[in-house]
Amino acid sequence: MNKKIILGFKGEHRFLSNFWEVKIYLEGETEPYLSVENAYQASKTTDLKLRELIKKYSPGEAKTLGKNMIIRHDWNDELRIKTMRELLLQKFDSRDAELVQKLLYTGDSKLIEENNWGDTFFGVCDGKGTNHLGKLLMDVRSALSSEKNVIHNFLVNKIRPKTIAEYLNISERTLYRKKQAYDLLHITPHISN
């Protein structure tokens, strides 16, 4: 059986792009960034004034600035991947049920960040690249799917919401938000106390 492949994050799959507008916060900051791209570029520096400037830019402008700024001394491949994973987990958390739904609806499709701008670290260009962004998105999708199944199974078995929240190490409020996101998929039973 052939697995579906999603090549490039455009058209109906544009929501997978780091340029998709969604509020993203970096640790310790109270004002959001416009997109994962903005927050990722800001993560490359410890200069707070530069970070504030990046908040005001479009994702494309932030990316251009990120290519031309002095990068923090500890910025390596491991930190790049860790940072991107954290930003994607935030992008696809239950604050935006529609995004969660869209990601889960990609099913088990292989996600490939195909591009023509030469990014072979997070993507694939001319058939070459490590596709770290695609792999991270698939990891996030897998985690969301597992969480959805845990919540569903607990609720079907009439486990108290407080117990479910404790098991998932989240607040009951977050549990209700997540449940609402999964309700859009028509698979989660009603929570009652």
Q: Which residue ranges make up each domain of the chain?
A: 5-142
Strands in the chain per DSSP E: 5-7, 21-24, 33-35, 110-112, 114-115, 124-125
Other CB atoms within a 10 A radius of the CB of residue 66 amount to 20
pLDDT in tens, 70-88: 999 999 999 999 999 999 9
pTM: 0.89
Query: What is the predicted pLDDT for the residue at 192?
Result: 47
Q: In this structure, is the dihedral angle defined by the CA atoms of residues 15, 21, 23 and 27, taken in order, positive or negative?
A: positive
Residues 88 and 137: beta-carbon distance below 8 Å: yes
- Give 45-63 pLDDT, tens digit per residue: 999 999 999 999 999 999 9
Model confidence band, residue 181 (pLDDT cutoffs 50, 70, 90): confident
User: What is the separation of C-alpha 89 from the centre of its chain, rounded to a whole number of angstroms?
Assistant: 4
- Residue 66 has a pLDDT of 95
The pLDDT assigned to 184 comes to 64
**Mean pLDDT, to the nearest integer, of 121-144?**
97
Instruction: Please give the C-alpha separations between residue 59 and each of 145, 162, 189, in angstroms, as whole numbers.
Output: 28, 39, 38
Superfamily of domain 5-142: YbiA-like (1.10.357.40)
CB 87 within 8 A of CB 41: no
Pairwise CA distance, residues 50 & 27, whole Å: 16
Question: Residue 111: helix, strand or coil by DSSP?
Answer: strand
